[in-house]
Amino acid sequence: MPRPIDDLLPEKPDARLRIYAYSIDDAAHAGRLKVGHTTQDVKTRVAQQLKTAAIENYTIEVDESGERADGSVFRDFDVRDRLKAKGFANPTLEWMVCGVDDVRTAIAELRANKSFEGTHHATFGMRDEQKAAVEKTYAYYQSLWADDADAVPEFLWNAKMRFGKTFTAYQLAKKLDAKRVLVVTFKPAVEDAWETDLKSHVDFNGWQYLSRATGGDPASVDPAKPLVFFGSFQDLMGRDKAGNFKAKHKWLTEVHWDLVIFDEYHFGAWRDASKELFEGEDDSTRKKAEAFEFTDAEETFAEELEERGSDEDAFVPIRAGAYLYLSGTPFKVLREGRFIEEQIFNWTYTDEQRAKAEFTAKHPDVPNPYVALPEMRLLTYQMPDELVAIAHQGEFDEFDLNAFFEANGTGAEASFVHKDEVQKWLDIIRGSHFATQIDALKAGSKPPFPYSDVRLLPYLQHSIWMLPRTASCAAMANLLAEPQNAFWHDYRVVNVSAPGVGVGLDALPPVRDAIGNGYDTKTITLTVGKLTTGVTVPQWSSILMLRNLQAPETYFQAAFRVQSPWTIRNADGDDPNAEAILKPVCFVFDFAPTRALRQISEYGTGLDPEASNPEKAVQDLVSFLPVLAYDGSNMTQVDAGGILDIAMAGTSATLLARKWESAILVNVDNATLKKIMGDPKAMDAVMNIEGFRALGSNVFETVVNKSESVGKTKKEKGDDLTQTEKRELTAEEREYKSKRKQIQEKLIKFATRIPAFMYLTDYREHTLKDVITKIEPGLFQAVTGLTVEDFELLVSLGVFNAGHMNQAVFAFRRYEDASLRYTGIDSHDDLTKIGLYDTVVAVDA
């Protein structure tokens, strides 16, 4: 009898083999894991096993595929055999005395048919943006080496926190087949990430890792296996009493490093100061380095380094094949034009949030790798006149947070200079200040003050307050503890800037102890600068900016501390791959609105210094980083035009003139001068600039040759230089530095004529590109003395710093537009007429 058609065409079973491991929370099973396999749902299978014994206190720790890429499988006994071969005990049939990572490593080994050292178990691949960074960097390196095998290329990754810079940098080193990698950082606290990524991912099995923390003898490493050496900038800059590098670091200069990675490269000054290590030294810079004390506050650190930068023409004792620079906020470097477009990979907050939004739309059934990254909100508050009156400062006459929170004394004796006013501020942010309550009644709506609005309070359960001085932190801790501030007594206050608290990672334990699991506690962390870069506290969901931070690098490095994901894996104990997101958004609260919006403006334009329209760059940013401003009566959302208007409010013609007289508008380093010398048209163009003919056509050659000659001599002879030779070198240095200064001054003088040309035209220039393309050639030459074609050529060669000029061009045009509008004149049809409150958007509940 014929069989039914359904029997002949059965559905194919979908039985995928899973390897699992679970733990039981009791004394008998402490330190043990049950390892098994199943083709069922793991949760169902484990529940079946434990149901008869009525065991409920279990957690599924591992749930991974038991299949290889070729379709073959491995089973639970294979995993246990692999663990036993590694020396782990197997007291009963399916139980192992080992850790979760040990099981994952065994699975990874079986899946790859390889043996891994340590606990290499991570098998995740690179995300699209990480692949793009590696490919672009690798292609750039190869293009330079194709022209010159001895070239030492440099590349910058402008990649924000959570890009995965350590893992991706190691992938670049692997693609380069680098055998010796040197990682140098400003922040020793980031070492944990560099070591963990190397020792946990299967791609780096067999790689060797050394640092001051791990110890180890460099002479004993296996020359056939890749070596990563991690060192802090502070340690490697150290000298002995004779002014020489520390003996323990001498081996660093004897190794040819295939790749040198500068981590936490937030400031252009980082490079200036590091030149003493990586480009040599002279007596004056050595004395400055010895006198310099490294501080916790990174902004102060950067300012000091700028002040004490070393000779730009010194030599490089450390031999490198290529350099990679990593930073999430390298705005100064971008503006200076040190890296051209083909030397930069960008992955910004805007890119991240855009990818987060697009991924779900494109892949609705695939877990979103960006979903745990919270979106930021910036809320600014205009303080009442009675508070603002006591703390004005600066060219913009704005609220001075440093003056407002000024304090005297130490420890329990610390107190605010304006204690009554600070108390009023505490009352304001919790919505209990009488004057602001009356204003709210008059306005008919209550603005969302941080510690009073029910929508904000959950995000202030764990916050960080950034104050101007250690005395301010102590004074705030004391004030919060006073009897009248009973509201604040529910919060455990941790002052990480107090004496005796460690630096870097050593400052974290008291914070983590106070936070605990994050659910049943409330904390406020007080800091001047500690823990604002290079560390992660997932539970921090908001930051209060209570000090003046002028550099957007420092501001956003601190702000991004609260953008760390807070997730719980395997929250129910039955799915180790499940992830609960506890922080969908995070908040930055600022009480100096003008300065805060200026930071947003600089950050937005800094993301893309050569954007066709800086306003568009800010607009892109605030689409993912909404900005809300409280003006004393209403809280409204601020658009890009409003942000730029406020950021530039108070800008005077004098300040604009200074922008056009700045040395950062031009580049006179050897590489740029060589480009001019190598291009006859460029040489002719420069000679047409007023004053250059008086310097002579050989001025560039003199500067380049003498500076390189001095550097070469220092490198070859070093400490063997005689006093006579030192005097001769000093005289040559003075000569070429003087001539370089003259070249710089002539170029700056030319640059100061560009705004005069802009003023005479009827175009709306946003960037330098507009100055070049939307021009009247005859007028341009009459005003500047240079043809448009010549100027464009010099810009393309990097003689003029396009990034900084873009900022100056845009600032000038907005200033001119504002001046014309004030007089009732509108000379441009396409003027943007967007004010702060032209469009009112309600606060999203």
Q: Residue 231, SS3?
A: strand
Question: Which range is least confidently modeled, 120-124, 145-149, 516-520?
Answer: 120-124
Read off the pLDDT of residues 158-212 as tens digits, 9 standing for 90 and up: 888 889 899 999 999 999 999 999 998 877 667 777 888 888 888 888 899 998 8
Q: Residue 559, SS3?
A: helix
Mean pLDDT of 501-520: 85
Read off the pLDDT of residues 419-433 as tens digits, 9 standing for 90 and up: 999 999 999 899 876
- Measure the CA–CA gap between 791 and 787, rounded to whole angstroms: 6
Please report the pLDDT score of residue 653 as a whole number. Answer: 42
Please report the pLDDT score of residue 114 as a whole number. Answer: 77
Two structure tokens written together for 299: 């902004």
Read off the pLDDT of residues 466-495 as tens digits, 9 standing for 90 and up: 999 999 999 999 999 999 999 999 999 999
Mean pLDDT of 111-117: 77
The DSSP output letter for 800 is: B
In order, the DSSP letters of 320-352 are ES-EEEEES--HHHHHHT-S-GGGEEEE-HHHH
Q: Is the pLDDT of residue 41 over 80?
A: yes
Q: 833, 618 in Cβ contact below 8 A?
A: no
Give the range with max mean pLDDT: 233-237, 246-250, 352-356, 391-395.
Answer: 352-356
- 539 vs 676, higher pLDDT: 539
CB atoms inside a 10 Å sphere around CB 43: 15
Confidence of residue 447 (pLDDT cuts 50, 70, 90): confident
Please report the pLDDT score of residue 459 as a whole number. Answer: 93
Q: Is the pLDDT of residue 32 over 90?
A: yes
Percent of the chain whose predicted confidence (pLDDT) is above 70:
72
Mean pLDDT of 741-745: 83
Q: Is the pLDDT of residue 576 over 80?
A: no
Please report the pLDDT score of residue 298 as a whole number. Answer: 37
- 783 vs 744, higher pLDDT: 744
Mean pLDDT of 381-409: 78
Two structure tokens written together for 588: 């930055």
Question: Which range is least confidently modeled, 563-572, 618-627, 757-766?
Answer: 757-766
Number of H helices, E strands in the chain: 35, 27
Confidence of residue 148 (pLDDT cuts 50, 70, 90): confident
Q: β-strand 627-630 against 375-381: which pairing, if any?
A: parallel
Cα distances (Å, whole numbers) of residue 350 to 618, 800, 823: 10, 28, 37
Q: 535, 505 in Cβ contact below 8 A?
A: yes
Residue 113, C-beta contacts closer than 8 angstroms, at least 6 positions apart: 68
Read off the pLDDT of residues 370-394 as tens digits, 9 standing for 90 and up: 888 999 999 988 888 778 777 765 4
- Measure the CA–CA gap between 528 and 510, rounded to whole angstroms: 16
Burial letters 192-202, b for 16+ CB under 10 A, else e = ebbbebbbbbb
- 489 vs 151, higher pLDDT: 489
The DSSP output letter for 430 is: T
Answer whether 0.85 is exceeded by the pTM. no
Q: Is the pLDDT of residue 678 over 80?
A: yes
Give the range with max mean pLDDT: 279-293, 621-635, 830-844.
Answer: 621-635
Please report the pLDDT score of residue 736 as a whole number. Answer: 82
- 332 vs 202, higher pLDDT: 202
Q: 648, 814 in Cβ contact below 8 A?
A: yes
Please report the pLDDT score of residue 154 as a whole number. Answer: 92
Give the range with max mean pLDDT: 105-114, 448-457, 628-637, 681-690.
Answer: 448-457
Cα distances (Å, whole numbers) of residue 265 to 274, 326, 560, 599, 688: 11, 6, 16, 19, 38
Q: Is the pLDDT of residue 314 over 60?
A: no
Q: Residue 785, SS3?
A: coil
Q: Is the pLDDT of residue 522 over 50?
A: yes
Please report the pLDDT score of residue 496 as a whole number. Answer: 94
In order, the DSSP letters of 570-618 are TTTSS-TT-EEES-SEEEEEES-HHHHHHHHHHHHHHT-TT-S-HHHHH
- 496 vs 759, higher pLDDT: 496
Confidence of residue 835 (pLDDT cuts 50, 70, 90): very low
Q: 73, 101 in Cβ contact below 8 A?
A: no
Confidence of residue 278 (pLDDT cuts 50, 70, 90): very low
What is the average pLDDT value for the chain, to the nearest integer?
76
Mean pLDDT of 44-57: 85
Cα distances (Å, whole numbers) of residue 125 to 138, 191, 201, 427: 18, 22, 10, 50
Confidence of residue 639 (pLDDT cuts 50, 70, 90): confident
Please report the pLDDT score of residue 683 as a whole number. Answer: 85
Mean pLDDT of 745-767: 65
Residue keyed to tokens 């700028």: 306
Torsion-angle region of residue 180: left (phi > 0), alpha (psi -120 to 50) or beta? Answer: beta
Residue keyed to tokens 């805060």: 596
Confidence of residue 61 (pLDDT cuts 50, 70, 90): very high
Q: Is the pLDDT of residue 220 over 90?
A: no
Q: Is the pLDDT of residue 612 over 60?
A: no
449: nearest Cα among 423, 430, 422: 430
20: β partners: 36, 63
- 623 vs 441, higher pLDDT: 623
Percent of the chain whose predicted confidence (pLDDT) is above 90:
25
- 116 vs 483, higher pLDDT: 483
The DSSP output letter for 296 is: S
Residue 73, C-beta contacts closer than 8 angstroms, at least 6 positions apart: 17, 66, 67
Domains of the chain: 18-112 (no CATH), 128-347 (3.40.50), 373-650 (3.40.50.300), 658-822 (no CATH)
Two structure tokens written together for 695: 């310097």
Using CB atoms within 10 Å of the CB of residue 402, give its burial: 0 to 12 exposed, 13 to 18 middle, 19+ buried.
middle
Residue 261, C-beta contacts closer than 8 angstroms, at least 6 positions apart: 169, 181, 182, 183, 184, 323, 324, 325, 326
Q: Residue 802, SS3?
A: helix
Give the range with max mean pLDDT: 283-297, 385-399, 715-729.
Answer: 715-729
Residue 725, C-beta contacts closer than 8 angstroms, at least 6 positions apart: 713, 717
User: 581 — phi, psi (to 5°)?
Assistant: -95, 120
Residue 803, C-beta contacts closer than 8 angstroms, at least 6 positions apart: 334, 335, 336, 337, 609, 610
Q: 518, 459 in Cβ contact below 8 A?
A: no
- 466 vs 38, higher pLDDT: 466
Confidence of residue 255 (pLDDT cuts 50, 70, 90): confident
- 690 vs 658, higher pLDDT: 690
Mean pLDDT of 77-106: 90
Q: Is the pLDDT of residue 315 over 60?
A: no
